[in-house]
Amino acid sequence: MILNHILGIYTHPREEWATIDKKHENYVYALSHILVIALIPSLVTYYSATQLGWKIGAGDTIRLTEQSALIVSIGLYAGLILGVLALALLVRELAAIFDAKPTYTQSLELAAYTSTPLFMVGFAGLYPQLWFVMSVGLVGLTYSVYLLYSGVPIIMHIPEEKGFIYASSVVTCGLVLLSVLMAATIIVWGSGFGPQFLH
């Protein structure tokens, strides 16, 4: 089953990382996990933007047109998948510095399961209040970082000390990658492809 590691990474992450390391499913399996999990924020974004809307302060409820929401959701889905694939490449490229020799599949597994809590934050969009979404997002980010720090030594077969520095490097690269994706979004929106709002 594609999603069979989700419960484990929330209830007993270290043991689950060891299980993932032992099994090492193929590349398609890890990619399938990302393709399914990335649907959560994308579908919730479409639904929230068209049906629920959001308010800023005491202003009117703002919604997107269905066409705009569809474009935003597809862009989000593609961005999330490309982001995880790029993170997996960064994980693999950084490995040589720390005397690790992972396959791309191992790197993709690490990136995919580490980003799962962030993708699950998408459910927070069903209650589109900024404070709530930001609070849940912070919890998701914190747990993703914890998963990364606990998973790197196990998946990469390196000592805990090296794993800590390796994971810190991956977090830094991940933040740079996130900044690049956000900048690309701003450029696209500023080029006349921004969403259309309904008030």
More confident residue, 127 or 188: 127
More confident residue, 159 or 25: 159
Share of the chain above pLDDT 90, in %: 50
Please state, in angstroms and rounded to a whole number, the distance separating the CA atoms of residues 117 and 93: 24
In this structure, how many other beta carbons lie within 10 angstroms of the beta carbon of residue 81?
A: 16
What rounded mean pLDDT belongs to the chain?
Answer: 88
pLDDT of residue 107: 92
Model confidence band, residue 174 (pLDDT cutoffs 50, 70, 90): confident
pLDDT of residue 131: 86
Mean pLDDT of the region 89-112: 90
> Which residue in 115, 89, 139 sits closest to 34, CA to CA?
115
Model confidence over 132-146: pLDDT tens digits? 999 999 999 999 999
DSSP 16-75: HHHHHHHH---HHHHHHHHHHHTHHHHHHHHHIIIII-B-STTS--BEE-HHHHHHHHHH
Model confidence over 46-81: pLDDT tens digits? 999 999 888 766 677 888 899 989 988 999 999 999
- Are 155 and 105 contacting, i.e. CB atoms less than 8 angstroms apart? no
Which of 2-16, 30-44, 180-194 holds the top average pLDDT? 30-44
pLDDT of residue 2: 53
pLDDT of residue 60: 79
